[in-house]
């Protein structure tokens, strides 16, 4: 596995693969890798002949007071895991390689409609930062396909919309959320949980499954289901930001009679802010 930090070295390796007619898959990450990330790598290996993974903690998607400085950085351990997983190239740039002039959001492209509300309402500017870094990484790697996890479902929808609206020649593939045995979605921020909070945390997914099951059973009072789910989470110790029923592709409020939907949630538990969703 090659490991590079500069766009020049990255571009040279990509160019050599292109010259050989190789298909390239890309997995962007913020590092501190776990089994969920490795599932993305596995999917990427099935979709292309060469796999590039980036490890970059992006400052523009953290609001003031969030955990940018304390976000876990484990590059050497990440490198070993990626090499064992069969990754061809690790791109681990410094901030100046991604933001050579200033660390700021690129305002030339607005956040797609699917990025408005939900996460963006509680983390203003979050998706502007996501779009900025993903577009920059796409420009540098120029992949044929990029792989994202469904745990960050709204982010997945935003990236798909960006690619579609900008006409980028990149396929976006997704991988189902990887979970612990008790249902908790894998996340780098799970390590913020105390032992007691870790026991409570799986109730987020259980609550969402109950909402999805109620809709599947014919319940149409969606606002009441959302409110009840919020109360259930508060009752066990969460501080929920939202529980929302939405259309799968547009993320508009779920319409009665829709054939598919997704229930999304974000909730704080101690120091951790957990997000999850259930597609039904």
Report the pLDDT value the prediction gives residue 107, as an integer from 0 to 100: 83
2-175 in CATH: which number?
3.40.50.620
Report the pLDDT value the prediction gives residue 260, as an integer from 0 to 100: 95
**In the chain, % of residues over pLDDT 70:** 100
Would the CA dihedral through 139, 144, 149, 152 be positive or negative? positive
Report the pLDDT value the prediction gives residue 232, as an integer from 0 to 100: 98
Tell me the two tokens of residue 176: 């189902």
Rounded Cα–Cα distance for residues 236 and 220 (Å):
25
Averaged confidence pLDDT in the chain: 97
- Using DSSP's 3-state secondary structure scheme, residue 275 falls into strand
- pLDDT confidence tier of residue 262, bands split at 50, 70 and 90: very high
Report the pLDDT value the prediction gives residue 99, as an integer from 0 to 100: 96
Cα–Cα nearest to 42, from 80, 95, 87: 87
What are the extents of the domains in the chain? 2-175, 188-274
Among candidate residues 34, 37, 101, 196, the one labeled active-site is 37
Report the pLDDT value the prediction gives residue 108, as an integer from 0 to 100: 86
- Is residue 196 annotated as a catalytic residue, yes or no? no
Question: DSSP state, 59?
Answer: G
Query: Cα Rg for the chain, rounded, in angstroms?
Result: 19
| 188-274: in CATH 3.30.1300.10 | yes
pLDDT digits (tens, 9 = 90+) for 172-228: 999 999 999 999 999 999 999 999 999 999 999 999 999 999 999 999 999 999 999
pLDDT digits (tens, 9 = 90+) for 16-44: 999 999 999 999 999 999 999 999 999 99
Cα–Cα nearest to 241, from 254, 226, 255: 226
Residue 94: which residues within 8 A CB-CB, separation 6 or more? 5
Tell me the two tokens of residue 190: 């799970």
H or E stretch at 195? helix 195-200
- pLDDT confidence tier of residue 235, bands split at 50, 70 and 90: very high
| Contact assessment for residue 273 and residue 201, using Cβ atoms and an 8 Å cutoff | no
Q: Which residues pair with 263 in a beta bridge?
A: 245, 278
Question: DSSP state, 167?
Answer: T
pLDDT digits (tens, 9 = 90+) for 114-165: 999 999 999 999 999 999 999 999 999 999 999 999 999 999 999 999 999 9
Residue 20: which residues within 8 A CB-CB, separation 6 or more? none
Longest dimension (CA), the chain: 59
Report the pLDDT value the prediction gives residue 81, as an integer from 0 to 100: 98
Report the pLDDT value the prediction gives residue 130, as an integer from 0 to 100: 97
pLDDT digits (tens, 9 = 90+) for 76-105: 999 999 999 999 999 999 999 999 999 999
């Amino acid at each position: 596995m090659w490991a590079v930090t500069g766009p020049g070295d990255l571009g040279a390796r990509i160019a050599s693969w292109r010259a050989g007619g190789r298909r390239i898959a890309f997995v962007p990450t913020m590092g501190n890798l776990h089994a969920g990330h490795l599932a993305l790598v596995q999917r990427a290996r099935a979709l292309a002949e060469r796999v590039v993974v980036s490890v970059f903690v992006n400052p523009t998607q953290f609001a003031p007071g969030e955990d940018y400085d304390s976000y876990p950085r484990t590059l050497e351990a990440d490198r070993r895991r990626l090499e064992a997983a069969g990754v061809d190239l690790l791109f681990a740039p410094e901030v100046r390689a991604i933001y050579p002039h200033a660390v700021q959001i690129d305002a030339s492209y607005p956040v797609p409609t699917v990025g408005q509300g939900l996460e963006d309402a509680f983390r203003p500017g979050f998706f502007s930062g996501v779009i900025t870094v993903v577009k920059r990484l796409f420009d540098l790697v120029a992949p044929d396909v990029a792989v994202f996890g469904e745990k960050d479902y709204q982010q997945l929808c935003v990236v798909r919309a960006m690619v579609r609206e900008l006409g980028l020649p990149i396929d976006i593939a997704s991988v189902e959320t990887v979970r612990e045995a008790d249902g908790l979605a894998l996340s780098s921020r799970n390590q913020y949980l105390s032992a007691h909070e870790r026991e409570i945390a799986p109730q987020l997914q259980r609550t969402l499954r109950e909402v999805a099951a109620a809709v599947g059973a014919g319940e149409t009072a969606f606002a009441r289901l959302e409110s009840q789910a919020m109360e259930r989470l508060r009752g066990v110790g969460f501080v929920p930001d939202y529980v929302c029923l939405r259309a799968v592709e547009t993320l508009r409020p779920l319409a009665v009679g829709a054939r598919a939907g997704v229930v999304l949630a974000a909730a704080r538990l101690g120091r951790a802010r957990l997000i999850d969703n259930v597609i039904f």
